[in-house]
Amino acid sequence: MCYKIVCSLLLCLGSVRLAYSSSSNNLAGYEGYTKYTVQHDDDSAFHYMVDLQTNDTEVDFWLLTRNMSVLTVGPQRKAQFESRLSQLGVQYQTQPLMDLMASLEGNSTYPDDDVDECHSGDCESQRPHNRQRRQARGFFSRYPRYNEILSFMSGLASRYPQFCRYESLGRSNEGRHIAGLSISLNQRVRPRRVAYIQAAAHGREWITSQTVLYLAYELLSNLRAFQRVLHDVEIFLVPLVNPDGYEYTHTTDRFWRKNRRRFVGHSCTGVDINRNFGNHWNYQGASQNLCSEVYSGTSPNSEPETSAVVRYLQFNRHRVKLSLDVHSFGKFIFYPYGYAKNTVPPTVGTLRAVAQRAANQITRYRGTRYTIGTSASILYEASGSLDDFAYGNLGIPLSYTVELPGDEFHVASFDIIHVCKETFAGFIEFIRHVSLY
């Protein structure tokens, strides 16, 4: 009976075709905002951008590298910001934010011409499998809400009980489950090694959850094909580390980054989970300003979302050999350390080689190319990330942050499945290397 309920739910999900905006209110307040793409080749402009991101609460950085920044600025700050850019002598392009979001909504339809075929004598036997594929295709053509994600995860566990376990690592600030999936060939025997993969530490990075859920779906749907990958390896997936922030981006503010921690007596809300882990906490690229987008919290691992991840990793520290933190966007694979530019781990050669192999597998799908290195050398110094903590504090030998493709946080619906498929190839390559430890 439970199986039928889950299947019915998934069928409903697959039949729904949603446009970009899941709520007409999640862009309220952004009228008059402008998206800036700024090219800066000298240190003075770069350091100005770093200072803005860390200390200015009225600008929102989408991407900050050493030679380019993407950010949004409100109408009150537009003239002042452009004047400063002119003083710095940098080139920039602008686009009204609401125009951008309208164009993305227009590109968020999904074609229905991808029909599953079967030979005349095999249609009956293939129909259940084809139905599941169509249902999954529907799920990966849009951005599901928190409850839909949990239903999808529990549905996988119900369908594959011998190979998949659904559990909760804890609860968020607002009481939502931080749900995980454990995948292995035999749930009765605990494999020696664990590959840990998490996503959506930042609420607005919707595509990240879909790539991790797609990994779970493809593995469980094709267990025979991935027996060698799964041999002696447990894959533990947390597709939604920041469920409160994720839901908030659907209902209220599409570009919300942090969690939803509230502070008594203060109007500003939230902690950046990606600055809250306890490795060189608040050292660089983080802020103690409550209103900052990179506010690092009251102390290391202070947030329930962060501490839930830390508890799991610490308890399994001798088994976890791979830690992947999936973010969006930029097409980067980062390895430690991110807190300081000229600091690299002793195993940097191995870390880089494995990342390059994963990037090569991603490229094979449709040519997407990733840049590999430390976030401090490619972007800017930033402390308190999971990859630094997993490697530096827990000794997890393969520790990375992956920044998915895109030019903004929203990937058009027709492209979700392609990002999922190419990223899947990279995930599998990372997981293959777990067997070396």
Query: Within the chain, which residue ranges are assigned CATH 3.40.630.10?
Result: 144-436
**What pLDDT does 9 receive?**
42
**What pLDDT does 111 receive?**
43
pLDDT digits (tens, 9 = 90+) for 289-345: 999 999 999 999 999 999 999 999 999 999 999 999 999 999 999 999 999 988 999
**What pLDDT does 15 receive?**
39
User: What CATH number does the domain located at 144-436 have?
Assistant: 3.40.630.10
Q: Which strands form 68-73's sheet, in the order they lie side by side?
A: 59-64, 68-73, 34-39, 91-96
Catalytic residue among 403, 408, 422, 429: 403
At 398, which helix (H) or strand (E)? strand 398-404
Query: Within the chain, which residue ranges are assigned CATH 3.30.70.340?
Result: 34-106
**What pLDDT does 137 receive?**
67
Q: What is the chain's mean pLDDT, rounded? A: 88
CATH homologous superfamily for the domain 34-106? Metallocarboxypeptidase-like (3.30.70.340)
Task: Tell me whether residue 408 is one of the annotated catalytic residues.
Answer: no
The encoded tokens of residue 361 equal 């597998």
What is the DSSP-derived secondary structure letter of residue 412? P
SS3 percent helix, strand, coil of the chain, rounded to 5, is: 40, 20, 40
Distance CA 117, CA 96 (A): 44
Flag residues of the chain having pLDDT under 50.
Answer: 1-23, 109-128
The encoded tokens of residue 329 equal 């966007």
The encoded tokens of residue 8 equal 């019915």
Distance CA 269, CA 295 (A): 10
The encoded tokens of residue 281 equal 């906490």
pLDDT digits (tens, 9 = 90+) for 78-112: 999 999 999 999 999 999 999 998 887 665 544 44
